[in-house]
Amino acid sequence: MHTVILLNRYWRGSLLKATEQLLKTALGQEGVPTSEQISDIVKNAEAYAQAEKQGANPTTLQKTNSGLKGQVQFLQNKLNKGKGGDLPPCWANEAGKAEMFLTVYLKEDSLSFEPAWPPTRQADAEALPNFFALMANTTRTYEDFL
């Protein structure tokens, strides 16, 4: 019986040392992990377990996110190739269709503009800096517009 207790204590001690070494390796440090670091690890492990219970494997989500970032970058590169699409649209709807801010008419010595945004973007347009000052005079010389 005494031998079993000693082996049990030895096994627990070895397990604790192995766990401590895993923590040190994961944190990239030699010293004893702080209670805050251990708390963060526990929170992350709980969040990981919860995500798996909901059918959202965090590793799969990370791969999907990385793939989506790549697709966005690809499309951004495609968009920035020129030919009138040098800059992204003012807004894009859920289908990815561009929604513009203004329609601009160029004349020899001036320009004029009018709203081009859809009604659903009214609040977004009004939230832009200097919106009301811009819309107060919709015909301007090129210098005034700049």
- Cβ 130 vs Cβ 117: under 8 Å: no
Q: Compute the distance between CA of residue 100 and CA of residue 116 in angstroms, rounded to an integer.
A: 6
First and final C-alpha spacing in the chain = 90
Number of continuous H segments (helices) and E segments (strands) in the chain? 6, 5
Series of mean pLDDT values for 10-residue runs along the chain (146 residues) = 51 68 73 79 83 78 76 73 64 78 93 93 92 92 86
**pTM of the entire structure?**
0.42
Q: In this predicted structure, what is the pLDDT of residue 114?
A: 95
Q: Compute the distance between CA of residue 23 and CA of residue 29 in angstroms, rounded to an integer.
A: 9
Residue 103's beta-bridge partner residues?
A: 114
Q: In this predicted structure, what is the pLDDT of residue 6?
A: 46
Q: In this predicted structure, what is the pLDDT of residue 70?
A: 72
Q: Compute the distance between CA of residue 126 and CA of residue 122 in angstroms, rounded to an integer.
A: 6
Q: Compute the distance between CA of residue 138 and CA of residue 146 in angstroms, rounded to an integer.
A: 13
**Which has the closest alpha carbon to 115: 128, 127, 103?**
103
Q: In this predicted structure, what is the pLDDT of residue 4?
A: 47
Q: In this predicted structure, what is the pLDDT of residue 103?
A: 92
Residue 85: DSSP 8-state: -
Q: In this predicted structure, what is the pLDDT of residue 132?
A: 95
- Cβ 113 vs Cβ 102: under 8 Å: yes
